[in-house]
Chain A
Amino acid sequence: AQSVTQLGSHVSVSEGALVLLRCNYSSSVPPYLFWYVQYPNQGLQLLLKYTSAATLVKGINGFEAEFKKSETSFHLTKPSAHMSDAAEYFCAVSAWDGGATNKLIFGTGTLLAVQP
Chain B
Amino acid sequence: KAGVTQTPRYLIKTRGQQVTLSCSPISGHRSVSWYQQTPGQGLQFLFEYFSETQRNKGNFPGRFSGRQFSNSRSEMNVSTLELGDSALYLCASSLFTGVGNTEAFFGQGTRLTVV
Chains A and B bind each other = yes
Question: Which residues of chain A (1-59) have a CB below 8 Å from chain B?
Answer: 32, 34, 36, 41-46, 49, 51
Contact B104 A46 (CB under 8 A): yes
Which residue in A34, A43, A45 is a CB contact (below 8 Å) of B109?
A: A43
The interface size bin for chain B is: 20 to 34
CB distance from B48 to the nearest CB of A (A): 6
> In whole angstroms, how far apart are the Cα atoms of A51 and B109 in the complex?
27
Check if A87 is an interface residue, CB within 8 A of chain B: no
Contact A102 B43 (CB under 8 A): no
Contact A102 B33 (CB under 8 A): yes
Q: Chain B contacts of A41 at CB under 8 A?
A: 108, 111
Check if B26 is an interface residue, CB within 8 A of chain A: no
Q: Chain B contacts of A34 at CB under 8 A?
A: 103-104
Which residue in A46, A95, A106 is a CB contact (below 8 Å) of B103?
A: A46
Q: How would you classify the secondary structure of chain A's contact residues: helix, strand, loop or mixed?
A: loop
The interface size bin for chain A is: 20 to 34
Stretch at the interface among B11-19, B61-69, B76-84, B91-99: B91-99
Contact B103 A45 (CB under 8 A): no
Contact B94 A102 (CB under 8 A): yes
Contact A43 B90 (CB under 8 A): yes
Closest 7 CB pairs of A and B: A96-B100, A94-B100, A43-B106, A106-B43, A51-B101, A44-B106, A32-B100
Residue numbers of A with Cβ under 8 A of B are 32, 34, 36, 41-46, 49, 51, 90, 94-96, 100-109
